[in-house]
Chains A and B, each alone.
Chain A
Amino acid sequence: MADQNKTDTDLKFYNEVLSPSQLFAARSRSHKIPVRGQKDFFPDDSDEQRQRLEQSLNEHWSLISEERVEKLGNLVKATWIPSEKIVELQSPAGKFWQTMGFSAGGKQFLFPEEALYLMECGNVQVFYQELPLSIQDGYEKFLSSSTVRLQEYQVFGHLKRLGYLVHRFHPSSETSSYAKQLNLPQSRDRAGKQLKRKRSASPTATSSHTEAQEESTADRMEEDTCGQEGQEDKKRPESHLTISPETSSTQTTTASPGNKGGVRTWWMEDDVGERSDHQPASAASRWDFSSISFPDLGSSRERLSSCLVSPDPSLLPGALAVGVCDVDPWRTRINLRDVKMSSKEQMREEEKRRHRLDKDIEVRRCSNWAEYRQLMERRQGRRSKGRATHLWDGEVTPLHDPRQPIPTGELLDKISVIKSTHLLEGASRLQASDEWRISFNVYQPDTVADFKKSNPGKPYTRMCVCSFDGPVPDLRAIKQLAFQSGDVLVVFAVVDCGDISFYTFKDFELPTDVFP
């Protein structure tokens, strides 16, 4: 039984494999960690100290060497897919599903950092090529510069162990504050963007209208302004969209009648929840306004050419061809008349003017135009009386005329030399850098109860992971990250070989002493 001997010695040397009896006995293990006592100041080679050191070390080793033992029924089985860098669950997810993971194509998935964290907690057992992975395997396979770095995982784990909800940050899925102001519905496929999902087959269309609905709103607008000439079946913009519910009967993806072919419209009021999972992931959440032109036909400046060029055929569905649009007939239809006041209003305006002059006694005293002109000049002069001419007549004048009433706060602003600035000033024109990027969104622990993965809401902070070995973020980096983050604070998690320190930069305004 040479083999048996070998395995015995192996087991003795590498005693990390637990025998079945050890595994069975592990059920009654304690779940408490011993409290660490007071430290000594200086080593003095006393027996006491040596004893205490030995005790501390033994305690330390027993905790460190303990292996994770879980009942098979409590473990969720999963497999690692290296090509996609995600973990697919094979058995139903447990309580962690509320806040972690995502589903795609009917299956449940976890990100590698989430899977590794759950492995460390003893909730999930990940297999690769039908063999279970050790925690070491997990670290080596799941953490890399293309997925999540070791330092980022350290921060991730630290925050999760404290109870925070930590998700990956995607700059593209963050809506700008302008989009929020317009109340544009947001694309919520945060996970879907990671996977290369196959687009669902577009439904067969009965008419060109239904096909046209798959396009973005901008193209629809373009089509509306051009191409309408001489086409009887194309109606005005409003009705163009209202007829769509009837023709969308062939489509299978829509749910509510307000949902026009599954594409966002400017007028959609109802919640994002109506949209099904079949939406093509490429529906843009950021519109490039520089390439969408809205010709101003009402402009009185004759700068516009008399016709608009036809749109790019790649934007149009199918074999639709749109010719050049002649705008002159449109222009004639635009009402460029002045505001027509009713006769009553006109009379009222006249009266007001006359009233002012009539009531003026001094003007009445003038008997001719020359006197009136003199009066006007005098009045001008009076207004400028008291002004030191040497101050006001030159090129450089004082910032403020002391005879003008002004509140103190405004006056201080007016005469200030250094203008205060805020973090986001000038940040929009900064280019994103490779060196500094936001890694995670962090949500507070008390939001777990009503947390929805589909609509997580505004995060508590965002994390940028760096290390003490690297450079301190300069103003440029801070501005760029603040801009990316929007109105959420960015926290720098600085990793130092096991310890993590958190720093943040906030806007601060110097208080001004102003008495009203």
Chain B
Amino acid sequence: MTDHKASVPAQTEGMEQDPPQVVGVSDSAPPQVVGVSRCDSAPLLWRDQDLRAVRVRGLVGALLGALPRTPRQNGRLGRPLLLLPEEERLLTELHATANANQGGGGVQLSLQVKQHLEEQERNLEEQRVLALQDRKSALLHAMTSHTGSLGPSEALRGRLEALHRSFTFPRGAMAVQLSTARAGLHHCHEDRAFLRAQQPITVQHDFLRAQQPITAQHDSKAAARYQVFRDLRGRGFYLTSAGKFGGDFLVYPGDPLRFHAHFIAVVLSLDSSLSPLDVLAIARLGSNVKKTVLLCSPGGFQYPGGAGGVQYTSLQWSGMV
């Protein structure tokens, strides 16, 4: 047992009184609309540029799928990107989301199939040409490097002609793309047109009731989480989920790709009581993973504009002072 006592001084960090600012998007670029597709009622982003657009706004999300280059490992995952409910709500409030689930209709099915087959044939032809070129240049390289200089051109031409005649490129050798996003398919023209729309369709989505059972307790918890999320994001922090750390959010000072998280944010309402055991448990956990625990309570004070602020209390182990 170490001999320094665990005192938990309450350090309020509500110093900055500026209202939370909208971050990420510069005024010059038009606000990018991202297509959110719902899978089993979870908000997913599929298109590469949607992921980039969302990152620019400082929203990280979580990658769920297998990485195309190395699908059989869990260290680095690939698309889709799952958005936190708070992230989705933030985007919607900024009018930056559009529903990307298949609208249906549009181009007739038989036409789509015809287009697809035509595309395949074109693909095959072009690849055949490229493959032949590739073989020819390889042969040329081999022949010239072998002799050291431009050897007898007759023999070379003969070999090239023989190659040209006997060359086969079976259909099975053709490389095809397995598209990740639906808009990446040739036959999904209407999806692309849809997403280009400058006027985003605001999703009439009640976030508080998305997946969980409807309880008043849950609603207020979700609302509190959102307020804290918005406030921290407004201050420039990057946030991800922290379930496995026993908290609500992990708070990073910069992009998670380059920085470690500094805080574990735990959202509590101001009038809730916390038993000393719980305080100790969360403080212990924080010190074990070398992060400061941040107890966040929305509604602590009012910003000049009237917006509600968030009260922050950090917990840190300290020795005998």
Contact = CB atoms under 8 A, between A and B. Distances in A.
A56 B172 CA distance: 37
A65 interface: yes
B80 A136 contact: yes
The majority secondary structure among interface residues of chain B is mixed
Contacts of A70: 175-176, 178
A153 B259 CA distance: 30
Given A64-B79, A497-B243, A501-B244, A16 B176 contact: no
Nearest to B83: A497
Contacts of B72: 121, 161, 163
Nearest to B73: A161
B258 A20 contact: no
Contacts of B122: 20
B67 interface: yes
Contacts of B254: 40, 43, 53
B6 interface: no
B182 interface: yes
A105 interface: no
Interface string A134-160: 111101100111000110001001100
Interface centre among A18, A26, A144 (most CB of B within 10 A): A18
Given A66-B69, A120-B66, A145 B181 contact: no
B178 A497 contact: no
Nearest to B211: A469
B127 interface: yes
B130 A20 contact: yes
B68 interface: yes
- Which interface residue of A21, A75, A134, A494 has the most chain B CB atoms within 10 A? A134
A122 B68 contact: yes
A337 interface: no
Contacts of A149: 40
Contacts of A27: 175
A469 B212 contact: yes
Contacts of A137: 102, 182
A13 B39 contact: no
Interface residues of B, number: 80
A33 B70 contact: yes
A499 to B, nearest CB: 5
A21 B126 contact: yes
Interface string B227-249: 00000000000001101100000
Nearest to B212: A469
B155 to A, nearest CB: 29
Interface stretch (A123-131, A277-285, A395-403, A485-493): A123-131
Interface centre among B69, B72, B126 (most CB of A within 10 A): B69
A140 B101 contact: yes
B112 A42 contact: no
A243 interface: no
A64 B78 contact: yes
B257 A14 contact: no
Given A17-B185, A27-B175, A64-B79, A136 B258 contact: no
Interface in A455-502: 467-469, 494, 496-499, 501
B243 A130 contact: no
Contacts of B73: 161
A14 B183 contact: yes
Interface stretch (B44-52, B135-143, B263-271): B44-52
B258 to A, nearest CB: 5
A150 B40 CA distance: 6
A39 B74 contact: no
A455 B258 CA distance: 48
Contacts of B240: 497
Contacts of B244: 468, 494, 496, 499, 501
B174 interface: yes
Nearest to A121: B71
Interface stretch (B23-31, B57-65, B303-311): B57-65
A135 B127 contact: no
B172 A71 contact: yes
Contacts of B77: 498
B187 interface: yes
Contacts of A60: 257
Contact of B243 (A119, A121, A154, A499): A499
A97 interface: no
A209 B179 CA distance: 60
A497 B130 CA distance: 44
Contacts of A498: 62-64, 77, 82, 241
A117 B65 CA distance: 9
A21 B130 contact: yes
A16 B182 CA distance: 10
B48 A75 contact: no
Nearest to B246: A468
B173 A10 contact: no
B171 interface: yes
B69 A136 contact: no
Given A33-B76, A43-B253, A67 B127 contact: no
Contacts of A39: 258-260
A240 interface: no
A143 B67 contact: no
Interface in A55-70: 56-57, 60-61, 63-70
B74 A162 contact: yes
A82 interface: no
Contacts of A40: 254, 258-259
5 contacts: A121-B72, A131-B185, A135-B178, A136-B179, A139-B39
In the A-B complex, list the 6 residue pairs whose CB atoms are closest, starting with the nearest: A73-B172, A498-B62, A496-B243, A16-B184, A468-B243, A20-B126
Given A31-B70, A43-B259, A75-B178, 18 more contacts: A16-B183, A20-B123, A20-B130, A40-B259, A56-B257, A60-B257, A61-B52, A63-B78, A72-B174, A120-B71, A132-B116, A140-B39, A140-B102, A150-B64, A157-B66, A161-B71, A498-B77, A499-B244
Interface of A: 10, 13-18, 20-21, 23-24, 26-27, 29-33, 39-43, 49, 52-53, 56-57, 60-61, 63-75, 117, 119-122, 125, 129-132, 134-137, 139-140, 143-145, 149-150, 154, 157-158, 161-163, 467-469, 494, 496-499, 501
